[in-house]
Chains A and B, each alone.
Chain A
Amino acid sequence: MNLKDLLSPFYVWQRAFEKPYTSMRPIEERPGSPSYRGFHINVADTCVGCGCCHTICQNDAIDMVPVEKYSGNKGDSGLRPRFDYGRCCWCALCVDMCTAGSLRLSNEYIWTSREPADFMFVAGVEEKHWQDNELGYRREKSYHLYPPRRIEMEMLSPDESIEGFDEVVKGYDVEQAKKEADRCIECGMCVATCPAHMDVPDYIKSIRDGDYDEGLRLMYRTNPFPATCGRICTRRCESVCPVGLQGDSIAIRWLKRHIVDQVDAKDYARILNDNIEENGKQVAVIGAGPGGLSAAYYLRKKGYEVSVYEAQDKAGGMLRYGVPGYRLPDSGLDKDINYIVSLGVEIRNNTRIGTDISFESLLNDYDAVFLSTGLSVPSSMRINGEDHPRVLSGLQVLADAASGRDPGIGNKVAVIGGGNVAMDASRVSRRLGADVTILYRRRISDMPADIEEIHEAQEEACTIVTQAIPVEIMDAPDEKQVIIKWGEAEMVQDPKGGRPRPVLQEDRMHEDTYDCIISAIGQGSNLDYLSKEVQEQLAIEWGRFTPGEYQHTSLEKVFVGGDVANRTADAISAIEDGHHAARGIDRFLRPEMYTELDQEIS
């Protein structure tokens, strides 16, 4: 033992006068660090209730519970996360996973309560003392638990695409589709929003698993037009996909198409294995568009003998005659229709009801009738000179192009309108070699057309003139031409808070000469095939049906659907109308199959 070792310990006294480590709570506060993982904050108005936090929580500390304030739908499930602090470990995986970016942690870490039940709470709905805390853990922007960016779709370049009617979108290959399918978080919010309620997360999973047979089966449960919808669906599902809230939504439409692309048409019968047991009853369907054929498919599956009456020479309705081939090639549409026909659905083309057969005779001959005659009459611009021979309708131009006829548009055309038909007519005109100017009364952001359609029209060098109101159509010196007089418009705010209204500026008028004017401002129905009495009984408003819960009408045996019976007027809604009408018709004709028959129908 040396002396140094004996004395050395007394050195401790030197520290006796140093500042102590301990902080003097509650006199001194000791907040958590700025990125501390403390108590949860959820901005409940931003949260969409997708349930990802619940899925990722390895402690089962998060339940999704209904919150009255959020009634849901339109991309909001109406649920909000409830946290159980008896189970939570504050790992913040829920924050990392949160699609809406509404969830974060505060840096508050002290909370006491005598009530154990208090520690189960719906963050952002129940008041907590830390809810205005601005600090605490948030997901770093560069850090993702799922890839936020969409796998890019290969497309024809604008220069290539206007050369002809080849399909612009090339479709994913297997590897790309797998990667895109991997991004899905399986929340299922899309299912509610899809008019047909397709099992989106399930068929996307089938892509991940490489099980395309299963994918096809899942799609046909709710939609017999997957090849079509995989190309031209209005895809409301994607607009509510929570992955799109802080990134790109899942390319649901392209994935649907990918499944169809992977399955050969000749394998459909084996995969879908639709065993039909005839039930001896017959149903007539008027109109072989998506609504009519969807009804026909689901009725046929239930054993009905189905006859579809179609005025045109081919089935498909607007899908064939209104959607140009570069968006939906005939081969895609035919893949869908051929399978429906293969089940024994009879399609009688070139048969116009009211001309070739009377509606009343159908009512007599069939057990039920489904009407889905669509919107086929172009709307009027309501201006002078509209009946000029050089004014063509957008629908006619599209139908001519689809049938291989020359619509005779000339080299310089003006297209009036801002909807999908206007965009389609413009792009078809480009392919026929014309210079195209689109005149639209409002702004681009007001256009009802799909934003991608607008972009592609622009890329294909269509000139879009906005806030332009047609005033009059006049003869040109050359009779093969036509003059349109139009005026500039100012957007005026609606004092009632509606959308701004374009107001014509009388002092800023223009006159331009074109080879033709294509009018594409909307379309209405043609119900002339129904007699006055029938029309009265069917409760028609503004040329459209207003069907009941099961697509039924006040006229017994008559069911309606498609564009002529809904407000959304798109293929997927028509398909759902057809599917639901099939359910309605089955309930009506075979009530014994349903224990609780809906009283409204019988």
Chain B
Amino acid sequence: MGNLTSALLERLERDFDITDITERHERLTTFKVTRDHAETLIRELRDREKYTHLNFITCIDYIEDGVFSLVYMLQNYVTHTMLGVHVDIDRDKAEMTSIHTLWAQAWTYQRELREMYGINFPGSPRLHEDFMLEGWDDMPPMRRDFDTAAYSTEHFGHVDRESEEPRQYMKVQFYPNRGGDEE
């Protein structure tokens, strides 16, 4: 982590209560910020700290914790470092401030996140237009609880072909009455 970045992180810690600061590799540091602070922080990084490039916005579904962790990846072309801004939002009330006014491509990411995770970004343009999934009527499919195999079986009658497991097959063939007894 360069001196520049660590000074910046210290300041962000002070001003925005960022937590979980982790250096992922020499050019990437990630941290967490609360939902309410996120937009201001990102705007400040863009306008004052030269994190001018938005690499992407994406989401990780931590279903076990009941949160979606949104990730805003910001790039500084002077120091050639990146900051990964994590914002945890409630999985049941998945809503986040839109940043479509900060970058021109941001609304596309937000539209994808709405479609794939069901996250709402009020005010984001064309948010409810189908993106990749025309006519999709099931659960947002990138959520961890969406089961692709079950969906495929249900909709396309996918039938597995028969295959033997060597261990089980050999038991049946060679020693059906032996081995560990079922309790």
Answer yes or no: A and B touching, Cβ < 8 Å.
Answer: yes
A residues contacting B by CB (< 8 A) are 49-51, 54, 60, 62-66, 72-73, 77-79, 84, 187-189, 191-192, 196-199, 201, 218, 221-222, 549, 576, 579-580, 583
Name which residue of chain A comes closest to B166, CB basis. Answer: A77
Does B64 have its Cβ within 8 Å of any Cβ on chain A?
no
Residues of A within 8 A of B175 (CB): 192, 197
Given the interface pairs A77-B169, A188-B170, the reply to whether A576 lies near B178 with Cβ below 8 Å is yes
Q: List 18 A–B pairs whose Cβ atoms lie within 8 Å, in order of A's numbering.
A: A50-B166, A51-B166, A63-B162, A64-B169, A65-B164, A73-B173, A77-B164, A78-B169, A78-B173, A187-B167, A188-B166, A192-B174, A197-B171, A197-B175, A197-B180, A199-B180, A218-B180, A221-B180
CB-based contact A191/B170 at 8 Å: yes
Name which residue of chain B comes closest to A298, CB basis. Answer: B181
Name the one of A63, A79, A191 contacting B161, with C-beta atoms under 8 angstroms: A63
* Cα A473 to Cα B174 with chains together (Å): 48
Interface residues of B in 140-176 (CB under 8 A from A): 160-171, 173-175
CB-based contact B179/A191 at 8 Å: yes
* Cα A293 to Cα B175 with chains together (Å): 22
B residues contacting A by CB (< 8 A) are 160-171, 173-175, 177-181
Residues of B within 8 A of A579 (CB): 178
Given the interface pairs A72-B173, A78-B173, the reply to whether A197 lies near B179 with Cβ below 8 Å is yes
Residues of A within 8 A of B165 (CB): 51, 64, 188
CB-based contact B174/A189 at 8 Å: no
Name the one of B163, B170, B180 contacting A78, with C-beta atoms under 8 angstroms: B170
Residues of A within 8 A of B162 (CB): 63, 65
Q: A298 to chain B: closest CB distance in Å?
A: 9
CB-based contact A73/B170 at 8 Å: yes
Residues of A within 8 A of B164 (CB): 63-66, 77, 79
Name the one of B169, B171, B174 contacting A66, with C-beta atoms under 8 angstroms: B169
* Cα A363 to Cα B91 with chains together (Å): 71
Residues of B within 8 A of A188 (CB): 165-168, 170
Q: A471 to chain B: closest CB distance in Å?
A: 45
* Cα A54 to Cα B179 with chains together (Å): 25
* Cα A549 to Cα B178 with chains together (Å): 11
Name which residue of chain A comes closest to B163, CB basis. Answer: A63
Q: B162 to chain A: closest CB distance in Å?
A: 7
Residues of A within 8 A of B166 (CB): 49-51, 64, 77, 79, 187-189
Residues of A within 8 A of B180 (CB): 197-199, 218, 221-222
* Cα A284 to Cα B59 with chains together (Å): 67
Residues of B within 8 A of A197 (CB): 171, 175, 178-180
Given contacts A51-B165, A197-B175, list 12 more A-B pairs with CB under 8 A. A72-B174, A78-B170, A78-B173, A84-B161, A188-B167, A188-B168, A189-B166, A191-B167, A192-B171, A197-B178, A201-B167, A218-B180
